[in-house]
Amino acid sequence: MPLYKTINFSPTTRILIWEITESFEELLGKVVLKEKTQLRLNGMKSEMHQRAFLSVRMLIQEIGFTDHDLHYDEFGKPYLSPNKCHTEPVEVSITHSHHFSAIIISEETVGIDIELQREKIIRIADKFVNEKELNRLQRFDAEDYIKKLTVKWGAKEAIFKIRNEKGISFKDHIQVNPFEIGDKETIAFLEMENIQQQFCIYFEEFQGFTLVYAFEK
């Protein structure tokens, strides 16, 4: 299946989700890759990873860019160079999880993450949420608890992708305000050394996955 969903969040921000049902060959036949990308693709061990990577190029093509416009900085953060259709600079963030991939493009500073909702997250909660956040989470409804932890994890990943900085601890430096799943948005704070920054977090669920995206405030 091609494009799974487009979220026209605002006139300057769009989110696109791809459901990866195509074979590797099918996807490869539909994208134009630069040599550097082809080499990276060849080096990937898992075919699912390769398909996800190619599906991101499909998403990039959907918004009028090609793989030739997509680059990475030394830490792996993606960026788009302006082309004939898009002369203004835009931000991009990329995520893939199992058979879904997504991008967000915006004139604002943004990060995105997709996570599969899994029970396992309960066991690792204390690795990425601090005591204050844990205490504020109601744990009597296991499904709700898993969903909220997944939003928190996704929010922290999305913020990490915005900051793109070594030394950020999800547990010690990023705090996500309390929220209900139905709220679909919350606020998060990054506090470390001399950095104090606020982020607007948006989230939604589909097919057992959680999509989270963050904007720098």
Interface contacts to ligand COA, rule CB under 6 A: 53, 56, 75-78, 94-96, 113, 127-128, 157, 160-161, 164, 170
- When the beta carbons of 130 and 177 are compared against ligand COA, the nearer one is 130
Position closest to ligand COA via CB: 76
Smallest distance, Å, CB 143 to ligand COA? 22
Smallest distance, Å, CB 66 to ligand COA? 14
Dihedral sign, Cα of residue 48, residue 66, residue 210, residue 74 = positive
Q: Which residue in 145, 211, 205 sits closest to 178, CA to CA?
A: 145
The CA distances from residue 180 to 101, 147, 151, 158, in Å, are 25, 10, 10, 19
- When the beta carbons of 36 and 141 are compared against ligand COA, the nearer one is 36
Smallest distance, Å, CB 164 to ligand COA? 4
Contact 40, 54 (CB under 8 A): no
Quickly count: other Cβ atoms within 10 Å of residue 49's Cβ: 12
- When the beta carbons of 128 and 209 are compared against ligand COA, the nearer one is 128
Bridge pairing between strands 100-106 and 91-97: antiparallel
Smallest distance, Å, CB 136 to ligand COA? 19
Q: Starting at the edge strand that comes first in sequence, how are the strands of the sheet with 185-192 ordered?
A: 110-116, 209-216, 195-206, 185-192, 174-176
- When the beta carbons of 168 and 200 are compared against ligand COA, the nearer one is 168
Smallest distance, Å, CB 1 to ligand COA? 19
Contact 16, 102 (CB under 8 A): yes
Contact 148, 130 (CB under 8 A): no
